[in-house]
Amino acid sequence: MSFLAHAMRYDYFVVQSAATAALAHIGVWAQCSGIGKDSCASAAPPSAIPDLISVAAASPTATSAIISAPTAGPSKETGKTPALGWNSWNAYRCNISEAKVLAAANQIVSLGLKDAGYEYVNIDDCWSELTRDPVTKRIVPDPIKFPNGISSVANQVHALGLKIGIYSDAGTETCAGYPASLGFEDIDAATFSEWGIDYLKYDNCNVPKNWTDAPTPPNDDWYESNSAIRYRQMAGALATTQTTRPIQFSLCIWGEAHVWDWGAKVGHSWRMAGDSTPDWSYITSIVGRNAQNLSSIDFFSHNDMDMMEIGNGNLTIEEQRTHFAAWIFMKSPILLGTDNILSAPTVHQLGTLSKDQVAIITNPELLAFHQDTTIGTPATPFGTKGTGPPEFFAGQSAKGTHVFIINTSNNTETKSFAFDDVPGLGQEASFVVHDMWSGSDAGTFNESFSVDVAPHDTVAFLITAA
C-alpha cells in the first residue's frame, strides 16, 4: 500500500468525536491535493461574509471596501529566516492527538533536532470540534484528541523550549471540513494568541464563490485580489491581537493569485504549489517551479515548497539529500512530516528514521546556510540551462560563496563548472572547495572543478579564495 493510500485510510477510519460528520468533507480535501490544485470552492457562501467582487462591480463603495482591507504586514519579531520544525499532516492526517504532538516535541529534543535549530511543533487540520461554540463563536478543541485543550499543549511545548503552531483556513471550512476563519478572523486570532500560539498555517479550501478571484485583479495588482484580501483580513487580525507572542504567518495558498508578488506584505511564507508527495517527481517539479520565482525570497519572505517527506515513501537516500538540500538553498520552510521521528534513530528498520536520515536533517553547514542572518537571499541557477529543472545553483552566506549541484539524471554523472562562471566568486588564481555535507575540504583547484554525482543526489560546496 502506498503512503498516500495508508494516510487516506487513517482519515476514513479515525474514531474521534468529530470524525463521522467530518468524513463527508474529506473528499473535498482529497480533490484539493496535487501540485497544480485549484482552490476548493464551496457552492454556498454564507451571507455574513462581504462580497467584494459584486460590491466592486456595483458602486464606488467597492473601491473603499478594497482600500479598507487591512494592510498590516507580518511581524518583524519572527520569521526572519525560514521556519524549521515539524507538522502533523504528512505523518497523521486527521488522526492527531495531544499525545502524538507532545511525543514529536519530545523527539525533537531527544534526537538533537532542537540543538540543530528546529523549533516549531505544528498542529495541522482536524484539531477542533465541527462547530464553533454557539455563544462565544470560538473554535473549540476536540475534547477527545486534545482533552486538555490547545493551551495546555502549548505550555508543554514551550516548557521544552520549542514553539507551537496551529492551522486554520481562509474559507468557510478547513480542507477536512472543520470550522475555518473567513469572517471570524478577529475571534480566531485572539483565541490563538490567548492559547500561546507562535505560528499559524492558513489554508485555502472552501472559498465561497463570491470570494473567488476575477481573471484580472483590480488595478492589475494581485495584492488587491480577493485571495489576497482573504489573507490580509487575518494578517490584520494577527497584527492587533498578537499581544503575548509574535505569530509567524504561513499562507497555504498553493501558488495561487501570484502570491509571490504580494506574499511578503501579508505573511512570512507562502506555499508555491499543491501538496508534497514522497516521490522524485514532486521534488523536481517544485524545484523547477520555484526556480522561476526566486526573487521574492529574502528575510521574512519565503517561498514554501511544502513539508518534508524524509522518512515517508521510498525516496532513495540520495533523493532525500536533494529534498533537504533544495529546500535549504531555496530557503523554504522545513517542516518534517513523518511519524518516524517517534522512533529511535539507532536501528534502521521500517518506520524508523535512520542515522543517515537524521544526519541529513541535522547537517550543520546546510542548516547554517538556511538560517544565515547576514544574507537572506537563496541560491539561484547559473550556467547553461537544459530542458529539466536547473541543476547548478550558487548563493552567498556569511561564510562566502556556495555551489549546489543536483544530478537530475538516472545515472552517475561528472558535473563540472568554471570558477569564472560562478556568480560571486572573484578572479583569484585558485580556490579551496569545501564539501558542506562531510565538513571537509575537497582540495584546492585552479580554473574549474569536477565532481561525480550519484543519480538524484545533490552536492554542496563552500568555495573560498585559496
Span interacting with ligand GAL, options 8-16, 172-180, 415-423, 438-446, rule CB under 6 A: 172-180
Task: Report the residue from 18, 22, 32, 170 that binds ligand GAL according to the rule CB under 6 A.
Answer: 32
Residue 119 sits in the site that holds ligand GAL (CB under 6 A): no
Give the HSE-up count for residue 340: Cα atoms under 13 Å, Cβ half-sphere. Answer: 24
The Cα–Cα gap between 251 and 330 comes to 17
Considering only CA atoms, which of 148, 149, 128, 166 is closest in space to residue 25? Answer: 128
Residues 399-418 contacting ligand GAL, CB under 6 A: none
The three grid cell numbers given for residue 268, joined into one nine-digit string? 512570512
The Cα–Cα gap between 442 and 127 comes to 49
Give the HSE-up count for residue 5: Cα atoms under 13 Å, Cβ half-sphere. Answer: 2
**Structural contact between residues 120 and 131, judged by C-beta atoms closer than 8 angstroms:** no
Separation of first and last alpha carbons in the chain? 52
User: What DSSP assignment string belongs to 188-225?
Assistant: HHHHHHHHT--EEEEE-EEEEGGGSPPSS-GGG-GGGS
Span interacting with ligand GAL, options 113-121, 168-176, 191-199, 448-456, rule CB under 6 A: 168-176
Residue 129 sits in the site that holds ligand GAL (CB under 6 A): no
Residue 272 sits in the site that holds ligand GAL (CB under 6 A): no
Catalytic residue status for 186: no
Task: Report the residue from 98, 124, 142, 309 that binds ligand GAL according to the rule CB under 6 A.
Answer: 124
Residue 173 sits in the site that holds ligand GAL (CB under 6 A): no
H helices present in 309-354, as ranges: 317-329
Catalytic residue status for 203: yes
Phi and psi at 342, nearest 5°, equal: -80, -5
Span interacting with ligand GAL, options 63-71, 76-84, 169-177, 362-370, rule CB under 6 A: 169-177
Residue 228 sits in the site that holds ligand GAL (CB under 6 A): no
Q: Tell me the CA distances in angstroms from 407 to 2, 242, 274, 414, one per residue in order.
A: 26, 44, 24, 9
Span interacting with ligand GAL, options 115-123, 170-178, 391-399, 414-422, rule CB under 6 A: 170-178
Nearest distance from C-beta of residue 403 to ligand GAL, angstroms: 32
Residues 350-379 contacting ligand GAL, CB under 6 A: none
Of 275, 304, 306, 339, the catalytic one is 275
State the residue for C-alpha cell 501540485.
35
Between 98 and 203, CB nearer to ligand GAL: 203
Nearest distance from C-beta of residue 169 to ligand GAL, angstroms: 8
Residues annotated as catalytic are 203, 275
Q: Which residues bind ligand GAL (CB under 6 A)?
A: 29, 32, 89, 124-125, 174-176, 203, 205, 252, 275
